[in-house]
Structure 1
């Protein structure tokens, strides 16, 4: 199977919610991502989770008070996400099957390093975001050290399933900031890293990690988060007359 083949997620579908399983790091990242999402300001606010997988963000979104819409290419993940409180939508993040300006928050967690059309994906994330709405994301930087840690060592140590990432798709922060700026979203990024005690507990002891698994760090060289609000202009491709 080729690198970054989405069919791998079908094979791993039963592991989404296994506390010390292959997706443990994604659970930590989901919690760190959720910390950047403010509580909903009114009933019925919508959060779109692009590339939601098995719905790891679900308990956090429920606690924040949003309606959680999860979009994913693989039905296997959506079948896991649905019972967790996610409204599942089968679709590609490069062509989200959602109305323009329909989301108060758009989340793209650990998905941008998997897409083959980054400009198209960013355009779609911004298209469905309401003016004033919030984007929250995390992804893998396009550096030699991130390729070493995420692919070479990460796969060897079991931090990531073998073949899950194609390093050619990793995304530099400056590239991502520029793409979002084209759609009136000013993105701010910061580096994050796994807790070293947490990594030891998971990789060596094979135990679930409680508490904060992901911590802020000064460097964006491997993993980084991003947040940004739509400036209030209409997303690219949406006319004021159509509003």
Structure 2
């Protein structure tokens, strides 16, 4: 029996990425929500997508050179079919230069790495001053462990069994503080599927489900922030 959060699971699930009614259904909904937070591209804009998986965010961003970083080559092969330039690498040690990106996405990745702080540091390192960081992840709370693991793994469209290790979930206040430490002022909010469309999807398995904002950060939450330019001393 494999441990929770074993990345080899993604190799076995690689054909599921683009099935809107498959095991990654909610990731489609989150990808659309995430894409709506990306600012318009200008000129030669670069977007780095950490833990890009099968490239689900690609249809929701335009005008960017979309670079996807992922540990699993099968994921990158799928993402390449959707216009993502794949780089095999660890989100905690990204093989890209400092300040190379106008936007960094860290969607549903922080709760899958052994050291989420290292991943945040890398995301901020990659951003140019004025660049935008967009994240979504699972909160380190008892409610999230109940809902996102024990319950969601039993619901169609929820995460595959064993895909999450609740020991890796991320405290919202800790994430905001860590981003600030690396020069990014992150604003966060809770997110959840819209209830009526979600119930309809469970019945029909058709159409997407919009993600809506909530005041509670207790389960899923998202964030967006901008990297400050370095301060300069007055002459």
TM-score (normalised: structure 1)? 0.91
Matched residue, 1:127: 125
User: What are the ranges of 5 or more consecutive residues in structure 1 without an aligned counterpart?
Assistant: 235-239
Cα displacement (A) at 1:129: 0.6
Matched residue, 1:186: 185
Cα displacement (A) at 1:98: 0.5
The one-character-per-residue Cα deviations of 1:49-95 (angstroms, maximum 9, x if unpaired) are: 00000000011123xx1110000001111010001000011000011
Give the root-mean-square deviation of aligned CA atoms.
1.4
Cα displacement (A) at 1:199: 2.3
After superposition, where does 1:1-243 map in structure 2 within 5 Å?
Answer: 1-42=2-43, 44-62=44-62, 65-158=63-156, 159-205=158-204, 207-210=205-208, 212-233=209-230
Cα displacement (A) at 1:229: 0.6
Matched residue, 1:237: none
Q: Secondary structure at the match of 2:39?
A: coil
TM-score (normalised: structure 2)? 0.94
Q: Secondary structure at the match of 2:184?
A: coil
User: In the aligned structure 2, how far is the partner of 1:157 from the partner of 1:232?
Assistant: 44
Equivalent pairs, count: 230
CA contact (8 A) 1:46 1:67 kept: yes
